[in-house]
Chains A and B, each alone.
Chain A
Amino acid sequence: MGSLFTPLSWNDSGLILAGIWNTIVISVVAIVIGTILGLIIGFIRSESNKTVNLILSSLLDILRSVPLIIQLILFSTFVGAWGYPLEPFVAGSIILSLYTMAFMSEVFRSAFESVHSSMLTASRSLGLSYWQTVFYIRLPIGIRTVFPSWLGVALSVIKDSALVSVIGYMELLRTSDQLISRTQQPLEILLGVGLFYFLISYPLSLYGKHVERKMAL
């Protein structure tokens, strides 16, 4: 009798590689877009008055106070009901990017605010214009101090990207989920998946700590 389940074989490696690739692609997209948007919003927030800040921060708060998985389900159902269903990749990228943006904007805002006003007065007194101050003084200093926390958010986005599987995006964890139901070999497959995430995240987190320590000196 042919078994319902077939064990893991080399034929599955293509599937797994595709899953890995999809995880990497959506993480990179979300990190890049989230960083750019977060940078812009962080800058606006550090420059704005209280009212603007309050409005922005309460909007961003929604993204941080509702589970990512609910955001994904809501968004993809919503665009479907609207009559413009989106590919899982597109819907996932949009939500993951916005989610990333919410955390990145906080990172950048505190970085901008940490560049002390005395330094700004000093550079303005050298005759630099407002935008020259922004591009030659605030951005370079802000970005240097921001790296460890930026990396922290980026790493958590790579891990959270696993949740995009819930709307049907075939990233690594969903691929392995399917392989598990076919092969009934959950442990081997999951350990492989865990190792993949660990091998990406751990060295980078060590590097982040290293940079942080160097900056503390």
Chain B
Amino acid sequence: MINIQNVHKSFGDLEVLKGINLEVKKGEVLSIIGGSGSGKSTLLYCINAIEKINAGKITVDDIDVHDKATNQDKLRQKLGMVFQQWNSFPHLTVLENVALAPRIVKKMSKDEAIEIGEKELTHVGLGDKFDVYPTKMSGGQQQRLAIARALAMRPDYMLFDEITSALDPELVGEVLDTLRVLREDGMTMICVTHEIAFAREVSDNIAFFHEGIIEEMGSPDQVISNPQKETTQKFLSKVLS
């Protein structure tokens, strides 16, 4: 379970998170929507400790993420993350991209790591690309590679940071299909996304972020179909029109 209590985060004078409270249980899918600058991506970075927080507490399976005593490298093995920019490692083949971390972080044997790599790549539909270099692939394929790479670490949670916003429109579908497969697998996910229709389809809960606070949260039916707050209505009418 990921538990977020009253989290504050500032960059210099700019406060981007102003007291966030959230809970994501095992097996749940939470989508976070909101305008740019609403703090939704920052929250993901705070959850996996790439960013520090100024106040509050985040726990993952009861481990305090930002406690000095916590081994954050170890903790991140529980949390797979996929970024807006796919960040494939350009000097490694597709298979090496996926097999590297299991081998050096989890100290698996080379054969084991390769086996996992091949399995995850096949899972996301890249079974024929093992020896290709990522720069030769489309953005959609590279984004699926990034998903396979994160999955190969056998994480308990997946964090997705606007993973379709840098893609050409015709490539968005294949990446969302991959997420649907994960949903079927029962993966616990937090998706920061602009794809409202997709969020509505796969999420258990949707949180609408506005200027650093959660303006509205609930089931897709509540938040998308019957938004109560004016800011939510405005946002939705803008993105859905």
Indicate yes or no for A touching B, C-beta below 8 A. Answer: no
